[in-house]
Amino acid sequence: MISLTGNFTTSVNEFSDLLKRLFHKTNNIDQFSANRGLPEGMLNEILSHKPLGVAIPEAYGGRGNSAREVLALLTATSYESLPLALTFGINIGLFIGPIAKYADDTAKGDIFGRFLDDRNMGGMMITEPNHGSDALNMQTSYRETEAGYKIDGTKHWQGLTGLARYWLIAARKQQANGSAGRDVDFFICDSSKENQQIVVEEYFDTLGLYMIPYGRNKVDVTLPINYKLNPQTTGINMMLDILHRSRMQFPGMAMGFIKRMLDEATTHCRDRVLGKGNLLSKDAIAFMIARMQSAYTICSAMCVRSCHISGLDVNLSSEGLEANSIKALVTDLMQDSAQTLVQVSGAKGYQLSHIGGRGIVDSRPFQIFEGPNEMLYTQVAEAITRLMKKQQQSNLFTFLESFTLTAKSCQFFKSELSVSLSNILPQRKMSDLGKILSRVMSLSYVIDLDGKGFRLDLIDNCIQIVRQEVAALMATFQNESNVQVIADYESGSSWTNFA
């Protein structure tokens, strides 16, 4: 049981033991992971230990939503199961946190009580079939009626579709002429109540994350007046605050997952003897494992940073640079770590019952949802180049040297980054630049760990590996490329005509 008042470290350790028992003794996760959902009663048993109480405000009986405790819970959970950690991440980042911060006080008591006592869950509905990355153009709309807010639209790809009782639904206000207003508002929906039921039109056959149902949801509901969230300024700013905090929560989900991939790979490479020694004694393998350790170090540093900057009381609406950089890089590191585990495992890794194979498909969508990574990297580059233009500075290194988030780390890349940026960069280059900047920023977090007693050998290795990656990325960035898609590529390109 997660104690709602006592020592957190003890109770998160006990929770971790509970997951180990449920996943490895009572059931066998490597077997049931090939099926959708969880074995009968398992989710209920897990939720009965009140893990989500960590995120509920103290005034409503929870532990108060401390970023450190939330990230520690996600870390412990993702070591055992990434889908379960994502289930908690959705509930905490996309429902409980936003309710704690923006819901009407009259709505909170009942909802939080049901999370704590009735094991209920909540998710968020933003994406629509015709509006994904361009969410601000969503067509789900609302209008005020005598009975409350009437909301109409279709949403899809919501995590916990058909399983969560509560939803936060994003919608735009219907104008007098029938069109949708510019701002986005959020509404609580209690799908157990009359007029608030969400109709699941289809369940999706997701590639991974079998534990979590996804699908298409028809929204045609009428909600009480106190179920509309109250933004501090605009609805879009509220949405950014919510999404940026959620992105800063990703390192918690990534931490346990990356550590698990690393531990599995290390154990396998130690035990697998080929020829004169084990796999770990082979140079190329040792480098691959060292890269996983570098991912572990970066992710640890991101967790520490996130704890400092992402508290619920902070307004993160303008913190897109760090939120986007953290989310995109840490999810790339998750996917890389899973790919490495499968590679070092040989054919053994190519099994659904192997955690590496599942790790690849389970971590893959983290690079897509809450902002596809290429778009986030582009936004990182846009934020920095905007600041450079403002300061009329075209030399990348000179700028980064004076910029708080990169000043400590950019010294390691002086020769690579001492380049003059052209005023207009094509989108493909902006994405490359974002990858570079995210790595430089993340190394600043790693350097911050240095003074705190974190292992220096891990930090030193990490610096070397990130230097190598940045050098490779800079080479790509500087390589002029204007290749375009060739229309009608099939005519004149069939190999059989040339053999």
Ligand X SMILES: Cc1cc2nc3c(=O)[nH]c(=O)nc-3n(C[C@H](O)[C@H](O)[C@H](O)COP(=O)(O)OP(=O)(O)OC[C@H]3O[C@@H](n4cnc5c(N)ncnc54)[C@H](O)[C@@H]3O)c2cc1C
Which residues bind to ligand X, rule: CB under 6 A? 90, 123-127, 132-133, 157-159, 209, 365, 368-370, 372, 374-375
In the numeric block, which tokens belong to residue 497? Answer: 């005509």
Report the distance separating Cα 234 and Cα 224, nearest Å. 21
- Which among 140, 154, 165, 162 has a CA at the least distance from the CA of 214? 162
Report the distance separating Cα 77 and Cα 15, nearest Å. 8
Of 272 and 428, the one with the shorter C-beta distance to ligand X is 428
Of 196 and 409, the one with the shorter C-beta distance to ligand X is 196
Of 215 and 357, the one with the shorter C-beta distance to ligand X is 215
Minimal CB distance to ligand X: which residue?
132
Q: Give the 3-state secondary structure of residue 148.
A: strand
Min separation Cβ 366 and ligand X, Å: 8
Element at 213 (helix H, strand E): none
Report the distance separating Cα 492 and Cα 489, nearest Å. 8
Min separation Cβ 438 and ligand X, Å: 16
Of 168 and 342, the one with the shorter C-beta distance to ligand X is 168
Min separation Cβ 168 and ligand X, Å: 9
Min separation Cβ 74 and ligand X, Å: 16
Of 304 and 375, the one with the shorter C-beta distance to ligand X is 375
82: Cβ–Cβ under 8 A, 6 or more apart, which residues?
209, 253, 256, 257, 359, 362, 363
Min separation Cβ 372 and ligand X, Å: 3
Min separation Cβ 90 and ligand X, Å: 6
456: Cβ–Cβ under 8 A, 6 or more apart, which residues?
450
Neighbours of 373 (CB within 10 A): 22
Point out which residues pair with 200 in neighbouring strands: 217
Neighbours of 286 (CB within 10 A): 13
Min separation Cβ 479 and ligand X, Å: 20
Report the distance separating Cα 204 and Cα 38, nearest Å. 17
Of 310 and 378, the one with the shorter C-beta distance to ligand X is 378
Start-to-end C-alpha separation, the chain:
69
Q: Give the 3-state secondary structure of residue 490.
A: coil
Of 98 and 365, the one with the shorter C-beta distance to ligand X is 365
